[in-house]
Amino acid sequence: MDIQQPTPAYRSYTDAAGFLSRAQPDLERDEVTNNLILGLSFRLISQPDYYRTRPYFATVSGTAADGSERLQLAAVCTPPHNLILYAAPVDCGTGLRVLADHLLEELPGLPGVLAPAQLAGDFSRAWSRASGNAARLVTHERVYELRRVNPIRPARGRMRRAEEADLPLLAAWTGAFDLEAVGTADTEEQKAYQARVRLPHTYLWEDGRPVSLACISRYTPHGAVIGPVYTPPEQRGRGYASGVVAGLSQHLLDSGRRFCALFTNLANPTPNHIYQEIGYEPRGDFHEFRFGQRPEKS
C-alpha cells in the first residue's frame, strides 16, 4: 500500500532576517552557487530600502524519514526582477507546485526565474502549469569562483575607487551595460539613483581617464560577488577589464574575504576567457526563463 506523503509546508516572510533564520544554514552549504539569494538577502538586512518595491521571501519544507522538517526550497524576489531559487538535493516536484500556486496569488505578474539550470527548468514547467503562461529560456549563465588571483599581463594604468565626481559617468556606463546585457536600460532618474547606491562599491581602471569599471554587487557571509563589469567598446582589447577585475578581486581577498564570485553570460566568450585567466573557476550553470502572458481564449 502506498503511503501518501504530507504536502510540503509553504511559509512566507516579512523580512530578510526571518527568511535567513530558516534558510541560511542550507544556503551556506554551497555559498558560491547560492551567492545571489544570500547576497540579496543580506543586502536587504543592511539596506532595507535598497529596492523600491516590497521584497518577497518564502520557503517550502518537507518531512524527512525521521519526522524532522527539512528545507526543500527557498525563494527571493525583488519585483519587478526575476525570482531567485534554491533547492535541496531531494525530489522537490511537489514543493515546486506548492510554491508556484502560492506565487500565482502573491506575485501573479512574475516576470521570470533565474536559478541553477535544472531547477530553473523544473520551476518554469510548474509555473506554466499553474498560470497558463508560457516560459522561454533567454539566458545561459555560469557562476565562477576565485580563491587566488593569477599573475596576468599588466594593463596600462591603475585602479582607483570611484568618487562623487564620477557619478554621471557611472550612470551612463551601467546603463550601457544593461543595454548590452539585457537589451533595456533604466530611466535617467533610476540610473542616477543606482549609480549613487553603487558608488561606495564601484572601482575604476584609469589610463589617463576612466576606461573600465567593476562593482562589488553583494556580499555573502564569507565572500563577495563582482558585477557589473563594463568597458566602453572603443577601449576594449587593451586589458583594462582584466586589470580592474584582478585588482578588485585581490583587494577583496586581502580584506579577508575567502572567495570572490561572478556571473557571466555564456553567449559572450570574451569575459569567460579573461576571468579564467585571472583565476576564476566554473562552479555551475544558471538558466534564466522569462514568462509570457496567459494566452487569450478565442
For the stretch 81-112, pLDDT in tens is 999 999 999 889 999 999 999 999 999 999 99
Residues 115, 13 share a domain:
yes
| Mean confidence (pLDDT) of the chain | 92
- In terms of domains, do 81 and 103 share one? yes
Residues 86 and 155 placed together within one structural domain of the fold: no
Residues spanned by the domain of 27: 9-141+287-291
Whole-model pTM above 0.75?
Answer: yes
Task: Tell me, yes or no, whether 187 and 86 share the same domain.
Answer: no
In terms of domains, do 18 and 78 share one? yes
Q: Which residue has the cell 530553473?
A: 120
- DSSP letters of 267-280? T-HHHHHHHHHHT-
pLDDT digits (tens, 9 = 90+) for 157-207: 999 999 999 999 999 999 999 888 877 778 888 888 888 889 999 999 999
Q: How many domains does the chain have?
A: 2
Contacts of 48 (CB under 8 A, 6+ apart): 15, 16
Same domain, 83 and 199: no
Other CB atoms within 10 A of residue 244 CB: 29
Specify if 3 maps to a domain.
Answer: no
In a domain, 4, yes or no: no
pLDDT at 191: 85
Q: Is the dihedral of CA 280, 41, 179, 176 positive or negative?
A: negative
Q: Is the pLDDT of residue 229 over 50?
A: yes
Residue 208 falls within a domain, yes or no?
A: yes
Residue 292 — very low, low, confident or very high, per pLDDT cuts 50/70/90?
Answer: confident
Which pLDDT tens digit goes with each residue over 61-75? 998 777 788 999 999
Going by C-alpha positions, the residue among 216, 212, 280, 220 that lies closest to residue 241 is 212
Instruction: Say whether pLDDT at 150 is over 50.
Output: yes
Q: Where are the alpha helices (DSSP H) in the chain?
A: 16-27, 35-46, 93-106, 117-131, 167-182, 188-198, 240-254, 269-278
Residues 109 and 29 in one domain: yes
> Which of residues 2 and 7 earns the better pLDDT score?
7
Domain annotation covers residue 2: no
Say which CATH number the domain at 166 has. 3.40.630.30
Q: Do 137 and 159 lie in a common domain?
A: no
Does the pLDDT of residue 241 top 90, yes or no? yes
- Locate 120 and state its grid cell: 530553473
* Dihedral of alpha carbons 188, 162, 224, 246, sign: positive
One domain for residues 118 and 154:
no
Nearest one of 112, 134, 138, 115 to 125, comparing CA atoms: 134
Q: Please give the single-letter amino acid code of residue 229.
A: V
**Is 1's pLDDT higher than 60?**
no
Mean pLDDT value of segment 224-250: 97
Question: Is residue 297 domain-resident?
Answer: no
Do residue 100 and residue 33 come from a single domain?
A: yes
pLDDT band at 5 (very low <50, low <70, confident <90, very high): low
pLDDT of residue 297: 38
pLDDT score for 4: 52
Banded model confidence at residue 3, pLDDT cuts 50, 70, 90 = very low
Average pLDDT over residues 271-279: 95
Q: Which tops the pLDDT comparison, 162 or 4?
A: 162
Res 52: pLDDT: 78
In a domain, 60, yes or no: yes
Residue 29 lies in a domain: yes
Sign of torsion, CA 60 65 69 74? negative
Residues 171 and 243 in one domain: yes
Beta-bridge partner residues of 58: 12, 75
Domain assignment present for 296:
no
- Per-residue pLDDT band for 298 (boundaries 50, 70, 90) equals very low
- pLDDT > 70 in the chain, percent: 96
The mean pLDDT of 269-287, rounded to a whole number, is 96
The answer to whether residues 270 and 172 belong to one domain is yes
